[in-house]
């Protein structure tokens, strides 16, 4: 099983590298848009690698407090609306493993998938942010603004949404634990 997953990861990595090279050959190796493809490649590789290893959030950011569900900041930022958009459109298929379709997935597995997805977006954001600064420093102001918007939509909002999902799952786990104890 491990060799099959490792082979799949290597093949996907080679495919992504070839795609990156072909795009760079067409638009130029100095293009600011290559970083965007690298961010998406990183996220794709992290997903393909999940059977082998799972990315984790830094320890200081792992805990999700109950204020996440009722917090004013999340409400003002429209994070729940973003979650509704993900659930009610084909965007849900970008990472269907964080949904509990018909109760077929255990809560523990769902929580692990949500943690993994959150960590993937987090590390993609951490790696992409210096690139945005680099693009800005090269004088590509419009491109860096566009990349910042992409960063917010594809990494920041998913992180915030997945934190709400994990807070909900934590609440369900606590209720189930109380029921079992009673």
* Residue with tokens 């977006």, as numbered in its chain: 121
* Residue with tokens 């590390």, as numbered in its chain: 123
pLDDT at residue 145 in the model? 97
What is the spatial distance between Cα 48 and Cα 42, in angstroms, rounded to a whole number?
Answer: 10
pLDDT tens, N- to C-terminus, the chain (182 residues): 589 999 999 999 999 999 999 999 999 988 989 999 999 999 999 999 998 988 999 999 888 876 677 778 888 888 888 888 888 777 767 666 666 555 556 788 888 888 999 999 999 999 999 999 999 999 999 999 999 999 999 999 999 999 988 888 877 766 666 566 55
Distance of CA 111 to the CA centre of its chain: 14
pLDDT at residue 168 in the model? 83
- CB neighbours (10 Å) of residue 140? 18
Quick check: helix, strand or coil at residue 14? helix
């Amino acid at each position: 099983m491990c060799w099959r997953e490792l082979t799949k990861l290597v093949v996907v990595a080679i495919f992504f590298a070839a795609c990156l090279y072909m795009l760079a050959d067409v638009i130029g190796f100095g293009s600011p848009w290559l970083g965007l493809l690298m961010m998406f490649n990183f996220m794709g590789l992290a997903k393909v690698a999940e059977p082998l290893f799972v990315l984790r959030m830094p320890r200081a950011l792992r805990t999700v407090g109950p204020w996440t569900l009722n917090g004013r900041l999340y409400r003002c930022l429209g994070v729940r609306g973003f979650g509704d958009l993900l659930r009610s459109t084909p965007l849900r298929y970008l990472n269907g493993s964080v949904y509990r379709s018909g109760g077929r997935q255990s809560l523990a597995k769902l929580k692990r998938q949500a943690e993994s997805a959150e960590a993937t977006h987090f590390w993609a954001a951490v790696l992409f942010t210096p690139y945005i600064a680099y693009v800005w420093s090269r004088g590509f102001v419009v491109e860096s603004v566009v990349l910042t918007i992409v960063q917010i939509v594809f990494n920041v909002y998913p992180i915030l949404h997945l934190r709400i999902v994990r807070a909900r799952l934590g609440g369900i786990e606590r209720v189930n634990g109380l029921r079992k104890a009673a």
